[in-house]
Structures are given as C-alpha cells and as structure tokens.
Amino acid sequence: MFGNLFEEEEEEGFSSLSSKGRVVKGVDEPPPPRGKSNLCGIKNQGGTCYLNSLLQTLLFTPEFREALFSLGQEELGRLEDKDKPEAKVRVIPLELQRLFARLLLVDQQSASTADLTDSFGWNSSEGTNQHDVQELNRILFSALEHSLVDTSGSAFIHRLYHGTIVNSIVCKECGNVSQRQEDFLDLTVCVCGVLSLEEALWNMFVEEELFEGNNLYRCAQCDRLVTAAKSAKLRKLPPFMTMSLLRFSFDFAKFERYKETGRYTFPLSINLRPFCEPTDAEDSDYSYELFSVIIHKGGCYGGHYHAYIRDIDELGQWEPPVHEPKLQEDDPLSILMAIISQVLKELVLLDQLGQKLMDKIGSSWSKKFRKQYGPIGKFLQSHSDVFMLVSNGTRVALKANLPSPDQHNEPPTGSHWFDLNDSTVTSIRESDIEKQFQGKESAYMLFYRKTQLHRPAEARNNPQYKVPTHLVQRAQEENVKLQEMREKCEATNNTVELCLHLASSYRLENGALQPVGKEPSENPALSFDRRKTVGDLRLAIYQMQELWEGDMALTVAKSLPAGLHLYNTLTDDNISLNSAGIYNNTDLFVWNGRDVIAECIYEPLVFFFFLILACMTVCEELSVRDAGVRLMTTLTLCPGSSPRASQVRLFFFFFFFYLKSSIKPFSTCSCIKTMFFSQCLKAMLEAVGLDGSCWHLRKLDWCEEVGEPLMDEVIIMNDIISIFYVL
Ligand SMILES: [Zn+2]
C-alpha cells in the first residue's frame, strides 16, 4: 500500500538521468564550481532528495556538525583500513564527516552521497525507492548511535535531540496521579483539522481528555472505575526540536492515502512554556527559533523534497533573490514603481522609462495608458508622493522613504535563508517560508533550535571551523585537482583552429580570389588560444612565416564556390580573439593590406543588394490589421493584379557599387512559393539581364550583416520580408 509512496517524480534538472547525461559528455569534464550562493548542493542519486534535504539540515546544525567532527580517527578508525579484518572502522560517522567536509570546503556545485549510502548498506534499489524523510531521520540517528557505541560520541544524538513527554491520568475521586514518561527525538504533530502548529501543540499538551460516562478509568488506588482526566506535557526539552507534520493521512472511507494540503501556519520563533510541565525556569529556556523547513512537493504517490535552511554561521553568500514581482498590467503606478526601483538608487531618464515600460509590458505609454491617464510626465507629477522629478523634469526617482517592492539590499540580520534543492542552492527571503504553509508544495518537517544556543564569533563565515585537519587537507588537495582540471578544460575549450590563407597562394580572377595551384588542405593551420590578443596572433604568424616582410593584415575570410570572400580586417591588436569574433575553424586571409585587395575587396566582390519587398502581397479583401501591416511596415505599389496564393512576386532593386551597362535598377519577377532557391535566383538574374553561374543568394540580417549562403532548399517566402545578397 505504501510501496512507492515516496517515489520521486522526474523533475527538471534533478533526475538521475540528467546527472548521468553529464558524465557521458567526457571523463575529463570537471564538475562545475559552486554557484553564487557559495554553498554546495548534493547530487540526486535517483530519488534521494529526501536524504539530501535531511543531510543539509544536519550540516546546517552547527552543534551536530561539530559534535560529529569532534570524533577523531583514534576512536572511529580510518576509512582506508575498512577492508582490514582486524580493524574496527566506524564507517557511517566517517563517511558523514567526509561528506560534511566536502560540502563545507570543496569548490564544486554539488557533492555525491554514494559513499555514505554505501555505508548504510543500501543497495541500488534502496537508493531509488524513496524513504519517508521522517522515517529516514530516525533510521539515520539510530544508525549513527549504533555506530558510535563505546565512543565519546555515543550520546551526542541523545544530547541534541532527546526530549521527554509525561502522560498523566488524574483520578477525579482520590486525586491519585498515574504517570508514564515517553521519549522522543522528534514530535509528530497533527495537521488535519488544525490551522497552526501552536493549535496542534495546544491540543496535544494543554487540552485534557476526560474519562467519563461509558468510558471510565480504573484507578489503582480506588480500585474501581472512576472519572479521570488524561493530559500530556513536555517534560524535558532538547536543544533541537524537530516537528514532523502529519500531512499524509489515510481515508478509510475511500481506502486511500491522501495529502493534507490545507493551510497550516508555523512561527519563526516559538515559546514552548505553555506546553511544558510547570517549573520555575526562565522563559528563555523555552524559546526556540526555526532554522530549517523540509518541504514536500507533490501528491502522496510521488514527489520531491527540498529544504529552506537558515545559514546560521553565514557560510554562504546571500544575495537578494531576483524574482519578478507579478505585475498588475493595468496599474501604471505599480509598473512604473517596479521599473524605477529596479534601477537601484539611480535617476531614470524619462526617455529611458518609456523604453523600459515597452520592454516590461510590450506596449508604449501612449498606447496603453495615455488615453486614461494623460502624458507620462503629467502622471508622474500627479503622484508626487511616490515619484520625484529632477533635472527640469527629465529624470525621475522614487521618493526615498518609500517601501519599494525590490528594495532589500542588505539582508536583515539572521535572515540568511537558502533553498537547498539537490544540486541547486539559491538565496531566499525569510518571508518565502510563508509560501510553504499550504498547498501541494508545503512544509513537511520543521526544525527549531533553542534561542539560547549562541554561536562563537570565530565560526562566522568560517567553513573550516572545527573541521579536523586531515579533512581540511583532503579538501584542499581536491580543490587543487579541481582547479587544474578546470584550467586544462578551459584552455581546451578556448583553443581554436585557424586556417591561414596566404596572399601569395591566391590570384584575382573574375573579381574573386582564386587559389593558385595548391590544394586547400595545404593551407597552413594554426591552433591558438582565443583568450590571447590579435597582436599575439599576428606575432605567432610572423614567427611561422619567417620570410614575411613588411606589414601584415589579417582579414577574416570564407571559402565560397565563387572564391575566397573577405570580411572584416582585424585592426585592433589589443582585443582578444574572443572579442574579435574569431571562432573555431575561422579562415584568415594573410596579406600586406594593400595591393591585391585594393582591387578585389572593395570593387568587384560586392555587386548588388537585392531587396525582396513584396513577398507578402496585401490582398484587398483583408483588413489592414489582418494583413499584418504594422507601424513601419513598408508597402509598395506594384503593377498588375496581386499574385495568386501560390505565387510570390519578387520586387527587388539594388544599390550598385559596380554597375554594368544594361542592368535596370528596379525589377520584378514572379516566383512560385515552392520554387527552389536556385530557380528563384535564375529568375532574378534573367529579370536584370545578367548571366553566368558564379552567383549565389545570401540572407542579410537587419543589420545588413551577410549571413549563411542559401542552399538549394524549397523557398518559402510568404512569411517574412527578406533581403538577399547576390555575389
Ligand atoms: Zn482514585
């Protein structure tokens, strides 16, 4: 019935498949370094997110972590000796120490728990069969305690987590009190029918249950059935109080399990005194604060766990989470406030504001708000309680004292909360916890720590604090290795293969550069680091070409059917090849920058730009809007009736840098939409009276950068106005 209860749904990026996929990419690929949070996640080994959430919670329980680290190898043995029969090696605490040290100190995005789960004796099927995280908490604690018997650590779980409850029954006749004490490492609290943790605790530890009527209590002293009151109280409070929420219930009518998704609040800090046996202790002895929330997302037959954890020692790098506040698109006030507040502390130019508004809502002020609210300047003026216009009304800022939606720069103290979700660790706000009060994704386990527990100043920002030296050393060695791997990988990734075309191997023919004699494979190749500068490259080529004299120009080139085509010349020696746009397999024409080229690049290579303007013919029956005519659409008046649906009319004209006598500057020709590009090209050439076979079509983008040549594919031109370049 509960078999696959906690089987994990395939989650984007968290599945075992994706981590396997990474491994396939290459043995040498180094694991990615830590992200912005500077905290290390834990890999999902396939349905182990429940384990990951719990381990991170324990890691961020400094007192737990330090108690574990305080156990030395003289007590636990050494992992290196674990296969020696005579050696007593306590594998579980040792593996946990290693994992914690790596999570604290090794610069990688996520660590693996494979060695730890091996130490639990889990086989692969147990890894993938999700356990309940509440159950796992108990299993893990009991495995640790068992493993630490007869060491100085044998009692540390007990010391940190053990509490007691006392159950009492008071005889209403003789006043005899019968008591039974119960131990706990975590408290299971009701969710069904209650609205908050406090209410659940009230029901458990304040309300009395009466034995009366048909349900009487047998008092040992009175030796008969009597009315009596039953109650429970917390007797001993542990330093760490773990609350397991009973979100999963069983519906006996339907005979199925279900998840309680109703609203259930819990406080950031709580005083447990009302739920305890009366004592004369200080109030502060009862005060707790929340530091971890394990969240279950999904239904009761599958789901995913992650944890919101407070980074008590401030080991991570907390930064305000970037989350787009949901805009109320029809409220110009909130939209403008959001835009201005994103440009932190700066004055926004009114012109820019218009552009940003456009980016944000995809519509201009004039179009969306002007009719209702008037010009934007007036609108800002009329909200002088919110906006401040300066520099003669050309710039605007938010009034300083205003609580703007995104203005939380410095985290308030004690608010270093992170969302630890398998490999991913991201900053969150304390207020995000409220999102986990209800729903399919909601809090499942709560971890409170005694407010009295203070952390030493030297532990702050210090992940090495109390980590045994041999583990620190081990982590440092691993970091050196990772660093080397990353540098090597980076160098490989930045190496580009360049093909050099020396001017001496080319001659000008029909207005294009044609290779002389040599096979293309004989062009010298050069491997070079893209991070180096153009000057470095030039120097390297000088060194290769010992006989070179005078200046050397490097021009990006491309081998085309019509010959070698030249693009931009690299002029700035100080920029990197990266910035110069040099990629792998770039062709470079190496020449003196003067002779051959003066004729060939600027004159004959560039003939015409053909603009195909009337691809989209506006049909008379369509409304202007339906025809897709928008602001700035160019419409051209063409002779004759519009082409049939299967046709496109190509209307093209050209700017000529090089004009042959009989070419008409404007021309049209009709093409069938499903023509091949080659047929289309032929029609265009015929229309302007050109012949020859050394022509091809290329698409230009809107910046008129020459793009890829168009291959012989079926032409489909009814969707966009395209520009072609003919060589
Ligand atoms: Zn009695």
pLDDT in tens, 364-391: 888 888 888 888 888 888 887 778 777 7
Whether 197 contacts 205, CB under 8 Å = no
C-beta neighbour count of 662 within 10 angstroms? 8
Q: How far is the CA of 227 from the centre of ligand 1 (A)?
A: 9
Q: Which two tokens stand for residue 266?
A: 């819990």
Q: How far is the CA of 274 from the centre of ligand 1 (A)?
A: 27
pLDDT in tens, 598-637: 444 433 333 333 434 333 444 445 555 554 444 444 444 4
pLDDT in tens, 480-506: 999 999 988 888 888 899 999 888 888
Instruction: Report the b/e string of 39-59 with b at 16+ CB within 10 A.
Output: bbbbbbbbbbbbbbbbbbbbb
Q: Which two tokens stand for residue 626?
A: 């339906």
Whether 44 contacts 420, CB under 8 Å = no
pLDDT at 305: 92
Would you say the C-alpha torsion 633, 636, 642, 648 has a positive or negative sign? negative
pLDDT at 56: 97
Q: How far is the CA of 225 from the centre of ligand 1 (A)?
A: 9
Please tell me the pTM assigned to this model. Answer: 0.64
pLDDT at 363: 78
Separation CA 453–CA 442 (nearest Å): 28
Separation CA 239–CA 118 (nearest Å): 30
Whether 589 contacts 550, CB under 8 Å = no
- List C-alpha distances in Å: 445 to 53, 136, 306, 425: 10, 12, 11, 19
Q: How far is the CA of 564 from the centre of ligand 1 (A)?
A: 108
Catalytic residue (choose from 49, 276, 300, 680): 49
Q: How far is the CA of 179 from the centre of ligand 1 (A)?
A: 13
pLDDT at 677: 63
Q: How far is the CA of 208 from the centre of ligand 1 (A)?
A: 17
Tell me the pLDDT band of 638, cut-offs 50, 70 and 90: very low
Whether 55 contacts 141, CB under 8 Å = no
Choice among 5-19, 77-91, 126-140, 275-289 with the minimum mean pLDDT: 5-19
Q: How far is the CA of 235 from the centre of ligand 1 (A)?
A: 24
Catalytic residue (choose from 304, 416, 501, 565): 304
Q: How far is the CA of 356 from the centre of ligand 1 (A)?
A: 79
pLDDT at 42: 95
Adjacency order of strands within the sheet including 387-390: 348-349, 395-398, 387-390
Rounded to an integer, the average pLDDT of 168-188 is 95
Question: Hey, what CATH topology would domain 494-600 get?
Answer: Ubiquitin-like (UB roll) (3.10.20)
pLDDT at 671: 56
Tell me the pLDDT band of 310, cut-offs 50, 70 and 90: very high
Separation CA 140–CA 56 (nearest Å): 13
CATH number of 608-726: 3.10.20
Q: Which two tokens stand for residue 151?
A: 């060491």
Q: How far is the CA of 202 from the centre of ligand 1 (A)?
A: 27
Q: How far is the CA of 220 from the centre of ligand 1 (A)?
A: 7
Tell me the pLDDT band of 510, cut-offs 50, 70 and 90: low
- List C-alpha distances in Å: 632 to 628, 629, 636: 11, 8, 12
In CATH terms, is domain 332-398 a member of 3.30.70?
no
Element (H, E) at 167: strand 163-171
Ligand 1 (single-atom ion) residues, CB below 5 Å: 171, 173-174, 176, 219, 221-222
Ordered alpha helix ranges (H), 343-435:
350-361, 365, 371-373, 376-382
CATH number of 16-158+461-485: 3.90.70.10
Which amino acid belongs to residue 238? P
Rounded to an integer, the average pLDDT of 88-112 is 95
Residue found under tokens 């070409």:
545
Q: How far is the CA of 173 from the centre of ligand 1 (A)?
A: 5
Q: Is 49 a catalytic residue?
A: yes
Whether 161 contacts 238, CB under 8 Å = yes
Whether 681 contacts 726, CB under 8 Å = yes
Please write down the HEC assignment for all residues of 633-646: CCCCCCCCCCCCCC
Choose among 88, 103, 92: nearest CA to 42.
103
pLDDT at 519: 67
Q: How far is the CA of 168 from the centre of ligand 1 (A)?
A: 13
Contacts of 614 (CB under 8 A, 6+ apart): 636, 638, 648, 649, 650, 651, 668
**Residue 406 pLDDT exceeds 90:** no
pLDDT in tens, 462-471: 999 999 999 9
Rounded to an integer, the average pLDDT of 326-343 is 73
Q: How far is the CA of 216 from the centre of ligand 1 (A)?
A: 12
Same fold: 16-158+461-485 with 162-320+412-457: yes
Residue-range domain boundaries for the chain: 16-158+461-485, 162-320+412-457, 332-398, 494-600, 608-726
pLDDT at 449: 97
Separation CA 522–CA 538 (nearest Å): 20
From the options 3.40.50.300, 3.40.47.10, 3.90.1300.10, 3.90.70.10, give the CATH code of 162-320+412-457.
3.90.70.10
Q: How far is the CA of 172 from the centre of ligand 1 (A)?
A: 7
Q: Is 304 a catalytic residue?
A: yes
